[in-house]
């Protein structure tokens, strides 16, 4: 995901109200409205694109309609340091939450950095072609870039909002971050696999199976610690 500002901070609560809707229809229902200093995204959590088959061998859960209400700041602010937000760091424009992390951890110890990555192929979480699968509650959610929201052509696509209120784009951006007339290019993360062996936990080489296998190197790619950057977008030509 591309978060549109280097510093990521939750400045207003991101509320997720659980509970199934009475309707059994699996048709996307999403409403976005602005009230006071907040943007509300209210949805049944059903995507507006076809999904993979659920249940499946890696994911035993079935999609069901939810009652999601997300409250997001309309006027996001910059912070001096990054604040981890989990499990939900934001929401797509179709009302489906972004939950990139996993519950699976080495020896089931969630207090360590040795939590499995969802999309590096070392565990089968039954994700579909949209990098998504389903919680035991029936909540469909994205672990990576929601391909169903992207266009076939290479364009910069606004796909949602972070919990801090900044817009989320992916996986393209302007070649010159501050020039909306420049060519659209792929933008690249500044994370890489660590070298050598893991010092503890599961041991073995840093091969990408776990979150702790990666390290951030400032300037290695186009994006910052939060996989974002400041720059112009089609919706924010003056920059965000």
In-domain check, residue 199? yes
Residue 186 lies in a domain: yes
Residue 50 belongs to a domain:
yes
- 172 in any annotated domain: yes
Provide the domain limits for residue 32.
1-234
Domain membership flag for residue 240: no
| Contact predicate 76/164, CB 8 Å | yes
Cβ atoms within 10 Å of 188's Cβ, excluding its own: 13
User: Longest Cα pair distance anywhere in the chain, in angstroms?
Assistant: 53
Task: Give backbone dihedrals phi and psi of 238, rounded to 5 degrees, phi first.
Answer: -90, -5
CA distance 116 to 109: 11
pLDDT (0 to 100) of residue 9: 31
Do residues 210 and 116 lie in contact, with contact meaning Cβ atoms separated by under 8 Å?
yes
Is 148 among the domain residues?
yes
Residue 28 has pLDDT above 90, yes or no: yes
In a domain, 90, yes or no: yes
Q: What's the pLDDT score for residue 21?
A: 33
Tokens for 208, please give them: 């990408």
**Given pLDDT bands bounded at 50, 70 and 90, which one contains residue 230?**
very high
pLDDT tens-digit profile of 194-220?
Answer: 999 999 999 999 999 999 999 999 999
- Our count of domains for the chain comes to 1
The reported pTM is 0.87
- Identify whether 55 is preceded by a cis peptide bond (ω within 30 of 0): yes
Q: Residue 239 domain-assigned? A: no
Tens of pLDDT, residue by residue over 62-86, are 999 999 999 999 999 988 888 888 8
Report residue 110 as tokens. Answer: 């969630």
Residue 92, number of CB atoms within 10 A of its CB: 24
Confidence of residue 7 (pLDDT cuts 50, 70, 90): very low
Per-residue pLDDT at 24 exceeds 50:
no
Question: For the segment 101-142, what is each residue's pLDDT rounded down to a tens digit?
Answer: 999 999 998 888 899 999 999 999 999 999 999 999 999 999
């Amino acid at each position: 995901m591309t978060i549109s500002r280097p510093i990521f901070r939750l400045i207003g609560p991101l509320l997720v109200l659980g509970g199934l809707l009475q309707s059994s229809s699996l048709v996307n229902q999403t409403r976005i409205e602005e009230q006071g200093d907040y943007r509300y995204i209210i949805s049944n959590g059903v995507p507006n694109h076809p999904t993979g088959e659920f249940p499946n061998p890696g994911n035993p859960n079935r999609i069901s309609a939810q009652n999601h209400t997300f409250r997001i700041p309309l006027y996001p602010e910059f912070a001096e340091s990054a604040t981890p937000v989990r499990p939900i760091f934001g929401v797509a424009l179709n009302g489906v939450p972004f939950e990139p992390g996993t519950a699976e951890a080495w020896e089931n110890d969630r207090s360590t950095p040795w939590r499995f990555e969802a999309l590096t192929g070392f565990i089968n979480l039954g994700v579909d072609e949209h990098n998504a699968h389903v919680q035991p509650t029936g909540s469909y959610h994205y672990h990576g870039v929601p391909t169903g929201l992207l266009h076939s052509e290479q364009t910069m696509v606004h796909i949602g909002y972070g919990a801090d209120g900044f817009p989320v784009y992916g996986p393209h951006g302007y070649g010159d971050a501050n020039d909306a007339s420049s060519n659209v290019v792929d933008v690249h993360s500044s994370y890489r696999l660590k070298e050598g062996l893991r010092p503890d936990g599961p041991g073995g080489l840093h091969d990408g199976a776990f979150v702790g296998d990666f390290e951030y190197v400032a300037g290695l790619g186009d994006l910052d610690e939060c996989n974002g950057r400041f720059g112009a977008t089609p919706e924010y030509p003056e920059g965000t």
